[in-house]
Structure 1
Amino acid sequence: MNKKELRNKYLKMRKNLQYEEVEKKSKNIIQKLMDTAWYRQSNTIMSYIDFRNEVITRSFIKHALKDNKRIIVPITDMSSKILILSELKDFDNELCQSSYGILEPKKEYVRVVSCNLLDLVLVPGLAFDTSGYRIGYGGGYYDRLLQRLPQKTITIGLAFEFQIVGNIPVESFDRKVDFIITEERIIRHEH
């Protein structure tokens, strides 16, 4: 299957999940994440805000804020095709829906942060392979971000077990994540 076919297949599969199943599996994934040294030792964490049956990150973000972690969320800049990184301090009051329908900071709460400050980045995806490659929504936003990150930054894909596939077709601009956490396991990418 090519990327477009894989993207459509996994988008449809994820869309068909019942919310209760998404919630239950997400809690398991987030607990695994929070039990890691990567989480405990990180000061500045970038997290996507879940959308359309992605692994739910909202409760994680609120918990991390209470844990005194700096939380950074992405803003999709369609003109430059990059993710602008903004610090979030209050999940309940600082966000609104973007044109994509994704929660992003309201203009008055945009606090731009350099990607060089990130210790840990949580990456969404429609499918991942055990080498750490992913299929996103096709805009290349996360690949461009992953390319800009310092070597020290740990990148973790959050996915449901059914989103792990044999092999994803790879192009020159594709970037791997270091780890993938599903409800069943933590995958260190195989070389």
Structure 2
Amino acid sequence: MLDHTGTVKAAKLALRDQLLAGRRRIGLLELGERARASADHLLDLPEVRRAATVAAYVSVGHEPGTGPLLDRLHDRGVRVLLPLLQPDGDLDWAPYAGSGDLRSARRGLLEPGTAALGPDAVAGADVVLVPGLAVGRDGTRMGRGGGSYDRALARVPAGTLRCVLLHRGELLDAVPAEPHDLSVDAVVTDEGVVRLPLAAGGA
């Protein structure tokens, strides 16, 4: 019989498999269309419009696309910080200098070639955009299980907008949660932005 921790971990694994299978069914053309729509919604947010620095990431595979968003922020003169995955799983950060500066890194990720600023650089961002596989309506984020973004989010000051990019259908009533799982303030999909937390029967 599994203890509570084991039960939660098993539930996470099952949900991750289900969500990743769903993402693989999204075609490349639709991924691009959704990425552009999500960028439109994010760039309309008051916090993003007035941000001097935004922490984000380079999407890979069938993740909700960030390419259009990164380029539009960069073109506006916003300082964009991107993560550098460290051997211990923690995240350092470096400025985005355009798509031509990105290079292959650990685990198939793309990272900037600019100088690293240190793990605490994320604390200076006005908005923090993070990946996830699902978010519960109470704001609990479920990632891929590495813990990198839980460590990064722990460095973000209270009051900073923390937003997860998801595909439609990945904002759930609830997700399996462990004590180290940190919450976020909003979710964006190609359909719009949802502020969190929400009551189970809310909009």
Determine if the TM-score, normalized by the shorter chain, exceeds 0.5.
yes
* SS of residue paired to 1:53: coil
Structure-1 residue corresponding to 2:83: 74
> What amino acid maps onto 1:164 in structure 2?
L
- Between the two proteins, the alignment pairs up a number of residues equal to 187
Structure 2 matches for 1:58-69, cutoff 5 A? 58-69=67-78
Q: For 1:95 and 1:104, how far apart are their aligned partners in 2?
A: 5
3-state SS, counterpart of residue 21 of structure 2: helix
Q: Is the 8 A contact 1:143 1:174 kept in 2?
A: yes
**Partner of 1:90 in structure 2?**
98
* CA-CA distance at 1:41 after TM superposition: 0.9
In the TM superposition, residue 60 of structure 1 has moved relative to its aligned partner by 1.1
Where does residue 163 of structure 1 map in the other structure?
170
Mapped contact 2:55–2:122 kept (Cα < 8 A): no
Q: Does 1:28 align with 2:67?
A: no
Structure 1 unaligned segments of length 5 or more: list them. Answer: none
How much has 1:118 moved relative to structure 2? 0.7
Give the residue type in structure 2 aligned to 1:7.
R
Compute the displacement of 1:44 (Å). 0.4
- Per-residue CA deviation, residues 105-160 of structure 1 (Å, 9 max, x unaligned), is 23xx2231522211111111111122221221110111111111111321111111
Structure 2 residue runs without a partner (length 5+): 1-9, 199-203
What TM-score results when the alignment is normalised by the length of structure 1? 0.92
Shift, 1:72, TM fit: 0.2
1:112 to 104, 113, 117: 117
1:188 to 181, 184, 195: 195
Q: Deviations over 1:73-119 (max 9, x none)?
A: 0011122x211111122331x2111131110123xx22315222111
2:130, 2:162 within 8 Å by CA — same for their partners in 1? yes
Is the 1:121–1:154 contact (alpha carbons within 8 Å) kept by the matching residues of 2?
yes
Query: Normalization by structure 2: what TM-score?
Result: 0.87
Shift of 1:182: 1.5
Q: Is the 8 A contact 1:127 1:136 kept in 2?
A: yes
* Higher-Rg member (1/2): 2
- Secondary structure of 1:86's partner? strand
Partners in 2 of 1:183 and 1:149 — Cα distance? Answer: 25
Which residue in the other structure is 2:52 paired with?
43
2:12 is the counterpart of 1:8: no
CA contact (8 A) 2:168 2:191 kept: yes
Name the CA distance, whole Å, in 2 between partners of 1:39 and 1:21: 25
- Mean CA deviation greater in 176-185 or 34-43: 176-185
AA aligned to 1:41 is R
Q: Are 1:130 and 1:188, in contact at CA under 8 Å, matched by a contact in 2?
A: no
Counterparts of residues 113-132 of structure 1 (less than 5 Å) = 114-132=121-139
> What is the DSSP-based 3-state SS (H/G/I as helix, E as strand, rest coil) of the residue aligned with 1:27?
helix
